[in-house]
C-alpha cells in the first residue's frame, strides 16, 4: 500500500512539472499571439467592397475624391477606417453646427478640399506590413497625394498584467508636420496585414475619429479674406529683433513671409509690437495668427490689435486674453467691427503662454468683407 501511495505521489509531481514546463515554453512564460496574415484575392478597393456594413463610409469618401484607381492598381498601404469612425466625426461636427442653428453635413456635401486631405492621411505610398514597422523609432510614412508626413510603429500591448504580452498593434500617427511626438495625434489598429493584390490593409480601431483631431476644426474653419500685406503692400517693422539680428534665420520678417514653416523668435521683454504701414489706407476687420513649429509655451496669450492714421495715435480694434493655440502650424482667424480705413495696423503682444521667449509663424492683416 505504501509503495502504491509513493507511486501516485511521484506520478502527480511528474504531471505537474510537465504542465509548468509546457506553459513556460510559450515564449518565455506568456502566449505569443501569432500575426497571421490574411490574404484577399483582389485589390484593396475590392476588399473594401466585399465587407458591406464595415467600410461603406470610407468607400463613399474614396469614390467622391476619385481615389478608386489608387486603391485598385497602385502599390499602397491603407489604414482602413470603419463606419463607426466616420459616425463619431460627423456626430461631433453636427452637434456643433446644431448649436449654431446650421443644417447638418454629410460625406456627400462636406468641403471636398478638406475631405480629400483627410482621406489621403490613410493611404500610404508603398507596401508596409507590420514587420517593416518594428524599428525602435517606428517608420516615417508619406501619403499618396501630397506626400503628407505620417508615422507608424508596431508594438505589443499588455495582457494578463504583463507588458508586451498582448497582440501586436500598429500606432498610426498624424505628425502634423512636427518632429515632436507630443504634438502628434495617434490611433491604433484593430487588425493588421490583410494582403491584397496591390497592397496591405491595416484596420484602424473603431474608436478612432476620422480625420484624427482635425475633422471638426477643418470643417468649421472659415478662411480669411485677402491679405492686405500682399494685395496692397507696405512696410513691416517690430520694436524687437531676433538675437541673431535682422538677417538671422528667425528674424522678424519671417512672420510675414507667407511660410508657416518659418517663424519670428525673440525675447518678449514685457511686450512686443509688430507694425505694418500700408501703401494706401484700407479697412481691416480681420487678422490672422499662425502658431509656430515647437514649444507652445512661446505662443502669444494676450494682445491688442490697433489701427492708426499717423503711426502715433492708435485706436484699439480688438483685445484678446487667455488665448491658446490647440495645434502647431495652426492658423487662427480673428474678426472685429472696424469700419475705418487706417494706414497703419499693429499687434501688441503683452503676454505669452509661459516663459519669456516669443515665437509666431505668421501674422496677416486682412481686408474686411
What is the pTM assigned to this prediction? 0.62
pLDDT band at 23 (very low <50, low <70, confident <90, very high): very low
Q: How many CA atoms lie within 13 A of 228 on its CB side?
A: 27
Low-confidence winner among 102-111, 199-208, 346-355 (lowest mean pLDDT): 102-111
Q: Residues 2-25: what's their mean pLDDT? A: 47
Q: Indicate the DSSP class of residue 11.
A: H
Q: Residues 342-351: what's their mean pLDDT? A: 98
Give tens-digit pLDDT for 101-131: 888 999 999 988 889 999 999 999 999 999 9
N-terminal to C-terminal alpha carbon distance within the chain: 104
Give the pLDDT confidence score for residue 26 in this predicted structure: 39
Distance separating alpha carbons of residues 210 and 230, to the nearest angstrom: 35
Give the pLDDT confidence score for residue 242 in this predicted structure: 97
Distance separating alpha carbons of residues 60 and 49, to the nearest angstrom: 11
- Distances from the Cα of 111 to the Cα of 57, 163, 177, 216, 251, angstroms: 16, 43, 22, 12, 36
pLDDT band at 9 (very low <50, low <70, confident <90, very high): low
The mean pLDDT value of the chain amounts to 88
- Domain positions in the chain are 44-219, 229-368
Q: Residues 156-182: what's their mean pLDDT? A: 79
Distance separating alpha carbons of residues 169 and 275, to the nearest angstrom: 51
* Residue 73: all three cell numbers together: 492598381
Query: Which CATH homologous superfamily contains domain 44-219?
Result: FAS1 domain (2.30.180.10)
Give the pLDDT confidence score for residue 101 in this predicted structure: 83
Fold exhibited by the domain 229-368 = Jelly Rolls (2.60.120)
Query: E strands, 250-313, where?
Result: 264-267, 272-290, 300-308
Amino acid at each position: 500500500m505504501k509503495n502504491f501511495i509513493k507511486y501516485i505521489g511521484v506520478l502527480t509531481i511528474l504531471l505537474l512539472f510537465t504542465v509548468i514546463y509546457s506553459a513556460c515554453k510559450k515564449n518565455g512564460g506568456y502566449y505569443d499571439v501569432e500575426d497571421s496574415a490574411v490574404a484577399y484575392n483582389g485589390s484593396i478597393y475590392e476588399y473594401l467592397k466585399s465587407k458591406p456594413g464595415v467600410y461603406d463610409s470610407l468607400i463613399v469618401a474614396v469614390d467622391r475624391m476619385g481615389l478608386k484607381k489608387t486603391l485598385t492598381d497602385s502599390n499602397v498601404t491603407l489604414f482602413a477606417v470603419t463606419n463607426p469612425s466616420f459616425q463619431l466625426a460627423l456626430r461631433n461636427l453636427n452637434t456643433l453646427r446644431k448649436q449654431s442653428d446650421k443644417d447638418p453635413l454629410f460625406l456627400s456635401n462636406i468641403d471636398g478640399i478638406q475631405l480629400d486631405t483627410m482621406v489621403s492621411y490613410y493611404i500610404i505610398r508603398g507596401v508596409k506590413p507590420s514587420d517593416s514597422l518594428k524599428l525602435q523609432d517606428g517608420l516615417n510614412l508619406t501619403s499618396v497625394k501630397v506626400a503628407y508626413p505620417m508615422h507608424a510603429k508596431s508594438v505589443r500591448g499588455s495582457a494578463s498584467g504583463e507588458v508586451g504580452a498582448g497582440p501586436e498593434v500598429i500606432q498610426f500617427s498624424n505628425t502634423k508636420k512636427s518632429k515632436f511626438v507630443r504634438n502628434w495625434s495617434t490611433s491604433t489598429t484593430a487588425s493588421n496585414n490583410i494582403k491584397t493584390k496591390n497592397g496591405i490593409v491595416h484596420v484602424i480601431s473603431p474608436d478612432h475619429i476620422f480625420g484624427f483631431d482635425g475633422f471638426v476644426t477643418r470643417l468649421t474653419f472659415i478662411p480669411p479674406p485677402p491679405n492686405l500685406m500682399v494685395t496692397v503692400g507696405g512696410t513691416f517693422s517690430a520694436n524687437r529683433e531676433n538675437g541673431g539680428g535682422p538677417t538671422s534665420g528667425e528674424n522678424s520678417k519671417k512672420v510675414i513671409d507667407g511660410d508657416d514653416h518659418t517663424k519670428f523668435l525673440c525675447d518678449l521683454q514685457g511686450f512686443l509690437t509688430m507694425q505694418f504701414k500700408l501703401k494706401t489706407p484700407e479697412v481691416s476687420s480681420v487678422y490672422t495668427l499662425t502658431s509656430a513649429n515647437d514649444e507652445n509655451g512661446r505662443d502669444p496669450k494676450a494682445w491688442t490689435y490697433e489701427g492708426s492714421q499717423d503711426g502715433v495715435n492708435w485706436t484699439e480694434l480688438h483685445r484678446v486674453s487667455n488665448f491658446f493655440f490647440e495645434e502647431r502650424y495652426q492658423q487662427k482667424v480673428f474678426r472685429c467691427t472696424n469700419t475705418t480705413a487706417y494706414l497703419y495696423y499693429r499687434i501688441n503682444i503683452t503676454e505669452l503662454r509661459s516663459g519669456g521667449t516669443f515665437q509666431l509663424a505668421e501674422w496677416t492683416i486682412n481686408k474686411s468683407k
